[in-house]
Amino acid sequence: MAPNKRRRQPVPDPTTALRIPSSYGTGGLVVLSDTQLIETLAHFARERIPERSVHAKAAGAWGEFEVTHDNSDLTDAKFLNGVGTKTKVLCRISTVAGEKGASDTVRDVRGWATKFFTEEGNQDFVFNDLPVFFIRDPIKFPSMNRSHKRHPRTNVPDDNMFWDFHEGIHALMQLFGQRGIPASLRNIAGYGVHTYTLGKEDGTFKYIKWHWKPDAGIETLPADVAVRLAGEDPDYHIKDLFNSIEKGNYPSWTLNIQVMSPYDVSEAPIDIFDPTFTWPHAKYPLRQVGRLTLNKNPDNYFQDIEQAAFSPSNMVPGVGPSADMVLQARMFSYPDAARYRVGPNYQQLPNNRPINPVYSPYQRDGPATINGNYGADPDYVRSEFRKISYTHYHQTANPEQWSGQVAAYSYQVTDKDFEQPRALWEIIKGEKGGQQFFLDNIGPSLKNTEPKLRERAIAMFTRVSEDLGKLLTDATK
């Protein structure tokens, strides 16, 4: 090959591989010194990161949150105070059970993760579009999800597994109701599901529940349309969100909270640390906080959305967790997943990095360190060489006290678990066509199930209401 004076790389263009031609003039041997060929193939084999073990398929976008109502009576969190305060956000809306290539219009919960880049650090809302969760003890989370995924032998989703595991009647009633398949991601609600706290530096705090309401209203898809779209257009929801934002038709949501004083917890009609219950709206009305608008598509999906890492443990001063054990476990699980999926320095990536200065010299080194690594600063605590002052802000609300012995906990279903589902069934029956939709949504899945599992599932729905049990028995004959 003639020397090429302009050539700075071993080979001149990205389509060339170096070869030693055979004496026939065709074919040849590629060479180990062909860095470009080797880099190209080696990088391709490494261009995936593990997909999320749940919530793998998603749409994502950038946006802005604006405070519409002041909240300084509840919290010092700056992103929630001062009408007109604006905060940049990153949002990822997902299905739960399906893999990265699964269809969008399946009956499933939608995950609703938002990262607020506040001046006090990142605040993440890692929410769902249904207001309650299936389980109240966290150790069941992997089992619950596996029962929604592929059978270990056949490698296909399996109604028997679904109904064999299943509990969480309240969430099931929601899932098989109309909200199980949204018309678009612009039409879904979002719920914190757990109780959180909002508090102030003086130690005062309130328990709260977060609610996003879509300004375009909640809209859902009829099951038959959803089934058709799942085959014809598996990325229907992702395209819809992307195209809406691209056209300047920005979707928006209003953020509301329900508020409860810690002094009223013992009088509350439900266990507020149990994510299978909603707080009655008549007793704990919604109070408006602000508005989120999604107004920019990612420039690059992998960098902005696939590598995004959200966690309920990312909270700014003035926002705190509660004694909900599922929430406590989640606060461990998400950073753990991110360290595995994206790498231990995932927080240094531009889409995960807080916009405020962070000084955490005890967390350093590791693969892909790109933040300067704190130079020569001491990497151990309490150094005389660099004095550090700390905030005394407590994330855990002060009046909460904990004592007692460590004891095993595993819950049993009680009559109380059927009260809110019963009320929901009455609402479903009151909606136009609601009862028939519900039966049509759940019937095929139950019909596919072995008789003993079906009977057990119907017995569970009979505890909600005798008429529901009978209707399901007839529908699955």
State the binding site: 334
Query: For 377-465, where are the alpha helices, taking DSSP H only?
Result: 419-430, 434-447, 451-464
Report the residue from 71, 128, 293, 322 that binds ligand HEM according to the rule CB under 6 A. 128
**Four-CA torsion 71, 204, 325, 342, nearest 10 degrees:** 60
CB of residue 349 to ligand HEM, shortest distance in Å: 13
Q: Does 346 bind ligand HEM (CB under 6 A)?
A: no
Annotated active-site residue 151? The verdict is no
CB of residue 328 to ligand HEM, shortest distance in Å: 9
Stretch that binds ligand HEM, among 78-86, 226-234, 329-337, 419-427 (CB under 6 A): 329-337
Cβ proximity to ligand HEM, 29 vs 408, nearer residue: 408
30 forms bridges with which residues in the sheet?
A: 19
Please state, as a whole number, how many other Cβ atoms lie within 10 Å of the Cβ of residue 244.
19
Q: What is the CA radius of gyration of the chain?
A: 26
Annotated active-site residue 55? The verdict is yes
Q: Does 310 bind ligand HEM (CB under 6 A)?
A: yes
Cβ proximity to ligand HEM, 53 vs 395, nearer residue: 53
DSSP string, 299-329: S-HIIIIIT----TT---TTEE--S-HHHHH
Q: Does 113 bind ligand HEM (CB under 6 A)?
A: yes
Size of the site for ligand HEM (CB under 6 A): 29
CB of residue 364 to ligand HEM, shortest distance in Å: 22
Cβ proximity to ligand HEM, 117 vs 127, nearer residue: 127
Q: Does 112 bind ligand HEM (CB under 6 A)?
A: yes
Rounded Cα distance, 130 and 172, in Å? 10
- By rule CB under 6 A, what string of x and - marks binding of each residue 140-159 to ligand HEM? -x------------------
Q: Does 133 bind ligand HEM (CB under 6 A)?
A: yes
**Spatial contact of 186 and 238, defined as CB atoms under 8 Å apart:** no
Cα–Cα distances in angstroms (integers) from residue 474 to residues 315, 458, 465, in the given order: 49, 11, 15
Cα–Cα distances in angstroms (integers) from residue 193 to residues 57, 79, 257, in the given order: 21, 21, 12
Cβ proximity to ligand HEM, 71 vs 94, nearer residue: 94
Catalytic residue selected from 71, 122, 128, 297:
128
**Spatial contact of 317 and 77, defined as CB atoms under 8 Å apart:** yes
In 168-298, beta strands by DSSP E: 190-191, 196-199, 205-214, 252-260, 287-296
Rounded Cα distance, 349 and 49, in Å? 14
Stretch that binds ligand HEM, among 265-273, 324-332, 414-422, 456-464 (CB under 6 A): 324-332
Catalytic residue selected from 55, 148, 194, 211:
55
Q: Does 338 bind ligand HEM (CB under 6 A)?
A: yes
Residues of the binding site for heme: 334
Report the residue from 67, 90, 326, 468 that binds ligand HEM according to the rule CB under 6 A. 326
DSSP assignment letter at 280: P
* Interface positions with ligand HEM (CB under 6 A): 52-55, 58, 92, 94, 111-113, 126-128, 133, 138, 141, 193, 275, 308-310, 326, 329-330, 333-334, 337-338, 341
- Residues marked active site are found at 55, 128
